[in-house]
Structure 1
Amino acid sequence: MKQVLYIAVFLLSGLGFSQNMTLFEQGNALYNDGKYEDAINKYQAILETEVHSAELYFNLGNAHYKLNNIAPSIYYYEKALQLKPNDTEIINNLNFAKNMTLDAIDVIPEVGMSKVLNNVSSALSFDMWAILSVCFVILAVAMFMNYIMSEGTKTKRFSFSLAFASLFLMAGSLVSAFHKYNLDKLDNPAIVFAQETKVKSEPNLRSEEAFRLHEGTKVQVLDTVENWKKIKLTDGKMGWILAEDIKLLNRF
């Protein structure tokens, strides 16, 4: 019975893959013919099957860009970049789309140890830092055992030094791992989809207007109160925006 179930699941997944490939090819053909709305519909049909890929999001971004849909084009380029962080083509197209936005927001540069720690921690994923920590522990134990069992002075000195260095690197890896975890946990970006929205000083319509944002601007979501989101900009400004005016990037 289990074998029949496995075969059925395999066949269904294969059928779904085939259908999505057909939709993707149809979408590409429509895009090449300049039928961008129709292409978007084909790509969206794939997303509705819970299939995600950088190529799919990239093509969606391109189609929306051709239609001058600022917010959707930036949103889907950002989604593609999440799956392929170092893809130069995605980065270039995203920069072109950002040039269409109205809001010019400064970026507060990181300085000092905070900048160093953030750069080091972001070099690897949390899982990779954790694996490195385990490897350094194993190396430290092996060198310590070698230190105990060795008789030569040079070998003992080398083993002790390497064991101490491994413990130091293990501690550094652990710090980087937990800092990377906290960075990822706090990273909750969103794109403004409203053509223009008023950001309030408090989460209610009667509160004072702090500033205004326009479609395509990227924000960080810090908190949620009912249908309001507390956001922060790269220049340090904060305020409350209606949840319906933004679209979160971390949701797949």
Structure 2
Amino acid sequence: MKQFVQILVFLAFVLGFSQGTEKFQRANALYQQGKYQEAIDAYKSILDAGQESVSLYYNLGNAHYKLSNVGPSIYYYEKGLELAPNDEDIKNNLVFAQNATIDAIDSIPEGFVSSMLRKITSLFTFDGWAWVSVACMILFVILFILYYTANLSSRKRLFFVGSWVVFLIGIFGVFFAFSQYNSVQNNQFAIIFAQETTIKSEPNLRSEDVFQLHEGTKVKVTETVNNWKKIRLTDGKIGWIPSEDLREL
């Protein structure tokens, strides 16, 4: 009975994957025909079914960009980069989309050490760094066994040094994995979807206007109060925005 249930689960998974692939191909066909809104609807139906992929987010971003939907295009490119931080196609298209935004926001200069750590950490996702650590630990054990079984002193030195090198890489992998995890947990970003929105000093409409933002701008969300989000810009400015004017990544 248990095997029968497992077979049913497997068949349901295969069927769902097959249907998702067919929907994706139909959506791509609509995109190629220039029916961008229909393609967007088809791509979103795949997301609504609980499936996601780098290609899906990339194509959604492209379709929105074709319709000059700056906010959604940036949003979906950013979602794609969450799954594939080093995808050059997404990075390039994201730059094009960002060039279409109105707001020009300066960034607070970042120190050399923190900048290098951020770049190294962003090479892989949290799962990617975790797998690097696991692979290094396995390789460390193999090299250490080879060290003990080797007869030649030159090979012993090679295996000994190699084992400790991969061990250290594995330790750094764990560090970068937790850094990536903490970065995701503590840095909740969002994209402005409203064409224009006024940022308030407090989470209510009666408070003072602080500044304005426009569609496509990326902000950091630091707090939520009812239907308001407290945001911080890269230049250090802070304020409150209605929740419906942005979409969190």
Same fold (TM over 0.5): yes
- Aligned partner of 1:202 in structure 2 is 202
Alpha-carbon offset, residue 29 of structure 1: 0.8
Tell me which amino acid in the other structure corresponds to 2:66: K
Counterparts of 1:228 and 1:133 in 2: how far apart (Å)?
Answer: 45
Q: 1:73 to 1:125 in 2, by over 3 A?
A: closer
Structure 2 counterpart of 1:149: none
**Displacement of 1:115:** 3.5
| 1:156 equivalent in structure 2 | none
* Deviation digits for residues 18-68 of structure 1 (CA, Å, limit 9, x no counterpart): 111111111111111111111111111111110000101111111111111
For each residue in 1:155-204, what CA deviation from the matched residue of structure 2 results, as whole angstroms up to 9, or x when unmatched?
A: xxxxxx99999999888676655544432321211101111111111222
Give the TM-score normalised by the residue count of structure 1.
Answer: 0.79
Instruction: For 2:90 and 2:173, locate their aligned partners in 1 and report how far apart those are by CA, in whole Å.
Output: 31
The one-letter amino acid of 1:188's match is: Q
- Name 2:47's counterpart in structure 1: 47
Give, in angstroms, the shift of residue 132 of structure 1. Answer: 8.8
Q: What TM-score, normalized to structure 2?
A: 0.80
Select the structure of larger CA radius of gyration: 1
In the alignment, structure 1 residue 78 sits paired with structure 2 residue 43: no
Q: 2:14 & 2:168 partners in 1: Cα distance?
A: 49
Q: Which residue of 2 aligns with 1:25?
A: 25
The count of aligned residue pairs is 240
Give the counterpart letter for 1:220 in structure 2: K
Which residue of structure 2 lines up, in the alignment, with residue 104 of structure 1? 104
Q: Determine if contact 1:133/1:174 at 8 Å carries over to the other structure.
A: no
Output one character per residue of 1:131-166: Cα deviation in whole Å (capped at 9) or x when no partner: 59978x989xx8xxx9xxxxxxxxxxxxxx999999
**Aligned residues of 1:132 and 1:173 also touching (Cα < 8 A):** no
Counting only pairs closer than 5 Å after superposition, residues 195-234 of structure 1 correspond to structure 2 as 195-234=195-234
8 Å Cα contact 1:129/1:177 also seen in 2: no
SS class of match (1:106): coil
Tell me how far apart the structure 2 counterparts of residues 40 and 107 of structure 1 sit (CA, whole Å): 33
Alpha-carbon offset, residue 78 of structure 1 = 0.9
Cα shift at 1:109: 2.0
Deviation at 1:116, TM superposition (A): 4.4
* 2-structure distance, mates of 1:170, 1:3: 38
**Cα gap change, 1:177 to 1:8, in 2 (>3 Å):** closer
RMSD: 3.3
Q: Label 1:90 to 1:162 Cα distance change in 2 as closer, same or farther (>3 A).
A: closer
Which secondary structure state, in structure 1, belongs to the residue aligned with residue 45 of structure 2? helix
State the Cα distance separating 1:93 from its structure 2 match.
Answer: 0.8
Pair 109,83 (structure 1): closer, same or farther in 2 beyond 3 Å: same
Deviations 1:99-156 (A, max 9, x none): 1111111122211544344445445555368659978x989xx8xxx9xxxxxxxxxx
- Conserved 8 A contact 1:129-1:176: no
Q: Are 2:187 and 1:183 aligned? A: no
Structure 1 residues 40 and 115: CA distance shift in structure 2, 3 A: closer
Unaligned runs of at least 5 residues, structure 1: 147-160
Identity in percent: 51
Which amino acid in the other structure matches residue 240 of structure 2?
W
- Name the SS for the 1:247 alignment partner: strand
Counterparts of 2:226 and 2:23, CA distance in 1: 38
SS of 1:9's equivalent in the other structure is: helix
Give 2:52's aligned amino acid.
H
